[in-house]
Structure 1
Amino acid sequence: MDETYDVIVLGTGLKECILSGLLSVDGLKVLHMDRNDYYGGESTSLNLVQLWKRFRGNDKPPEHLGSSREYNVDMIPKFIIANGGLVRVLIHTDVTRYLNFKAVDGSFVYNKGKIHKVPANDVEALKSPLMGLFEKRRARKFFIYVQDYEENDPKSHEGLDLNKVTARDVISKYGLDDNTVDFIGHALALHKDDSYLDEPAMDFVMRMKLYAESLARFQGGSPYIYPLYGLGELPQAFARLSAVYGGTYMLSKPECKVEFDESGKAFGVTSEGETAKCKKVVCDPSYLPDKVKKVGKVARAICIMSHPIPNTHDSHSVQVILPQKQLDRKSDMYLFCCSYSHNVAPKGKYIAFVATEAETDQPEVELKPGIELLGPVDEMFFDVYDRYEPINNHDVDNCFISTSYDATTHFETTVKDVINMYSKITGKTLDLSVDLSAASAAAEE
């Protein structure tokens, strides 16, 4: 361990593993350490025995739930949008060769007490029970505008400069009502709150285009894909990539203390009396607690069921977004469901999550609107975890700290953080202009 590295990465969460892979591919000498004896950190996947141990101590899981090792329960469950940032990173690094993906069956939104399929284009808008007849026509015109919009073709702009006008301005031009704006903004553009309405409309329109293009990629019922055997496969795949390019891995390393010189710059990491030297340290918030601040907490319920979520067309894998206004809350709620069809549970079993940004100290009460949509549940676990953001200056201390995972059940916010960190660490912009047809080849139809 007495060698010098370009970067030491602490923690094998998904963000840290992606960065370790990207930096190794760039030719940097990387040492990756974790105090745990498994990959994944906060974003690991657990079998049934591990799940019971974490939430129920010494109790044993009941036999009727099936074999423990057939379960892969993600601790940070998220679907991957098919044309999104994570798929581009997977193809850019060729990590797709270590993984098998399968399309997710359904994408739904909660509106006025019911679950509806999310309409993603002009044809679906006309069929959707979410809107009345006149609203459907207005929505159809808006969807056509979004589909036809090309940044480099002024003819498609209809007189709107999306870098100057707000999302609210664009929406009002088409006369859409609040109800429609609610599902478009939250279930299609995947905004977490309504602040986007007063920001330049370009991001909003591009997010809608991304959703529609992702949906078209697999002709499935949703724009999402998800790896067979769960997300625990992802950190391991990036770890493998890093190792191929010369990265060194050490699990079960206690302490992992970051060492600083007199000027406050990190120069190495000590574990078991040995110090490995480095130019930069990359880690999750738990390794440098005095350089992060708490910014919120996520409340969630983890449920094992013997049926799909009702009113989702019997989807074996599905996301349902409950926009904040529908629940009279400040933040959206997310339902995530996966099953034996993605090899994360024994045949006939489903794993569902209900998650949201916690606004009170009673997660059971807060999550009730989402839990009520699940139908009968075999077993349920409640969990709350704190979210942290870095407050350090990486130019001063050479430390690059990831933010904690939010409540969303898609990966767009996660990838944004990784790409920003990559730019700060290397001073380069990550080129993700890749041929996405490779993603289609990687996913099982």
Structure 2
Amino acid sequence: MSEAEPSSYPPIDPVNFDLIIVGTGLSESVLAAAVSAVEFTSYLNSNSAYPSTTTATTSNDQHDDSNHAVIDFVQQSMLSDVEIVSCASEKENILRENSRKFNLDLGGPRALFCADKSVDLLLKSGASQYIEFKGIDASFLYEADGKLVNVPDSRAAIFKDKSLTLIEKNRLMRFLKLIQQRLAASSDNHNDSNADERAEICNISEEDLESPFVSFLEKMRLPPKIKSIIMYAIAMADCDQETNEVCEDLLKTRDGLDRLALYSSSVGRFPNAPGALIYPIYGGGELPQAFCRRAAVKGCIYVLRMPVISLLMDKVTGLYKGVKVASGQNLYSHQLILDPSFKISSQLPSSPTDYSIERLQMLSQREVKRMVARGICITRSSIKPDVSNCLLVYPPRSLYPEQLTSIRALQLGPNLAVCPSSTFILYFCTLCNDADEGKKLLQAAMNALLALPISENPDSIPIDQSENPDAKPIVLWSAVYIQKVTMGKFDCISYTPAPDGNLNYNEVLDATEKLFHQLYPHEEFFPETQSPEESMDDNGISLES
């Protein structure tokens, strides 16, 4: 940014706010929409101006800059160990000519279960008005012999599946019936927190509910193939559930059944969705966009192309006061929310006795919960003929004996408007302990499915696939990288959660709601209100067939 640019920025008015949120990721956008909904409700109920508007009339003179310590922000990438390979030859110019038609999600693979809280939140908040979805066509499980096994998600799908024996079908049917009973009991007793009573209705003991899910599946006499489908392709377990010594997140039966109930209730919720999953048309970036629009309708002020560069702290108390933006203007608020890429500079002001060094050190700390290896591939064909959009799960040890975590891959086609015609996008993701392990896992998953060139020789694989339609899809471009999942909290300054390694957004939304209640402990997360623009009509999910 040149020195001449700040003078072209128009001043921001007002300068005093209840809350400043830096960033427009999903968590930041949901939080902005939730807070603005609370402010809007307060405005309607009191028929008075917003609290932030009344304080905004206060003269800037009351904010004496000499009392503030200015600490610069440093914005660091959340991604590391990035490797990008462009595999297209000079004759293959589809990437160059259509570069603006690709909508890539660096936090992928992501999708929404039709019955999960992200869909409920879209409906409750009204953000569903600004987004459209399409159903994911199918889900597959990768077997060690290289076969892709269909994940049966309904009675009809089980009976049609030719890869299952009659005994496997009968046992799976009985097990799904148990899940349906639990789902019905949970629905009938949704106001009753007595877990024992619900368990008794479903004939599942409390001891079984607290036992490892894999043990419960064995007790139900399910064969290994069915167990693998249930644990990794439906319940979405991350690590090898068969080995207690290495799995840090052993799934309990209670949680496993809840995940199966979510999957089961997602199938058939929307007529145009063939399975349990849906995906936003134009890509995952449409989700924060929808909540941003909702926040703006409710009175949230968005300031674009105005980076926040510094933190303002009281020199005496070390308490947060506000931020400085790139134009040089100071903005003040009671609370500040930062996206997790922000850290404070190591160059602190020269008078450390004037404020609390300990508080600043807390601000620079991050709790790294885990690491996620992610990959993106652009291909010329689908991994499965006649299937455009699908989910594929590699169970632990399906690729090689040392593979201790499951790997998920989501293929998206041009009918989702995320890539031009005749191309597909594949997202890969797995949990890992370090970059080398993560990249090894992703490379094995990609090699099992795709025709990858040698990184030193992008032309090592021919582009023309017409002579052998059964060959592996050819990769035109690929990227792999490592992302740290972090959390942090500091008095009036908080951090939103980083994208995690889950397929859906539930944990991110849970953390966002928790942060909202820390800020506004007596307010409802998206209260049920109806403003004039909502009274027109439809507040449902728009799903294309």
Return the TM-score normalized by structure 1.
0.82
- Amino acid across the alignment from 1:269: V
Distance 2:278 2:519 in 1: 29
| Greater CA drift, 87-96 or 352-361 | 352-361
Q: Which residue of 2 aligns with 1:174?
A: 220
Per-residue deviation, 1:137: 2.6
8 Å Cα contact 2:238/2:431 also seen in 1: no
Q: Which amino acid aligns with 2:496?
A: S
Distance 1:182 1:196 in 2: 18
Q: What is the SS of the residue equivalent to 1:258?
A: strand
CA distance, structure 2, for counterparts of residue 156 and residue 122 of structure 1: 23
Q: How many pairs does the alignment contain?
A: 418
Summarize deviations over 1:250-280 as a string: whole Å, max 9, x none. Answer: 1222343233335444331211322211121
Matched, 1:119 2:152: yes
Alignment of 1:211 with 2:286, yes or no, is no
Question: Among 232, 237, 243, which residue is 1:191 paired with?
Answer: 237
Task: Return the letter of the residue paired with 1:430.
Answer: F
| Contact 2:78–2:484 (CA under 8 A) maintained in structure 1 | no
- Offset from partner CA, 1:65-84 (integer Å, 9 cap, x none): 34222221222231111111
The 5 A counterparts of 1:237-386 are 237-261=290-314, 262-272=316-326, 273-288=328-343, 290-310=364-384, 314-327=386-399, 328-362=402-436, 364-371=439-446, 372-374=448-450, 375-386=472-483
Classify the secondary structure of the residue corresponding to 2:306: coil
- CA RMSD in angstroms, aligned pairs only: 3.4
TM-score of the two chains, using structure 2 as the length reference: 0.68
Distance 1:368 1:432 in 2: 46
Q: Is the 1:257–1:269 Cα contact (8 Å) retained in structure 2?
A: yes
Quote the residue 2:356 is aligned against.
none
Residue 148 of structure 1: aligned partner = 181
Q: 5+ residue gaps in structure 1?
A: 36-40, 44-53
Q: What is the match of residue 350 of structure 2? A: none
Which residue in the other structure is 2:17 paired with? 5
Q: Report Cα offsets for 1:126-161 as digits up to 9, x if no partner.
A: 554665443433222111101111133666411423
* Structure 2: distance between partners of 1:207 and 1:123: 21
More deviation, 357-366/178-187: 357-366
- Counterpart of 1:75 in structure 2 is 106
Question: Residue 440 of structure 1: CA displacement?
Answer: 6.1
Quick check: 185-194 or 150-159, which moved more? 150-159
User: How much does 1:209 deviate?
Assistant: 1.2
Among 492, 495, 500, which residue is 1:398 paired with?
A: 492
Provide the secondary structure at the position in 1 that maps to 2:39. coil
Higher-Rg member (1/2): 2
Percent identity reads 23
Say if 1:154 and 1:322 are closer, same or farther in 2 by CA, change over 3 A: closer
Q: What is the aligned partner in structure 2 of residue 38 from structure 1? A: none
Call closer, same or farther: CA 1:129–1:367 in 2, change over 3 Å.
farther
Shift of residue 320, structure 1, vs aligned partner = 0.8
Please state how far the C-alpha of 1:211 moved relative to its aligned partner. 0.8
Instruction: Check if 1:97 corresponds to 2:129.
Output: yes
Residue of structure 1 equivalent to 2:543: 443
Change (3 A) 1:96 1:154: same
Distance 1:170 1:380, change over 3 A: same
Q: 2:268 is paired with a residue of what secondary structure?
A: helix
1:64 maps to 2:94? yes
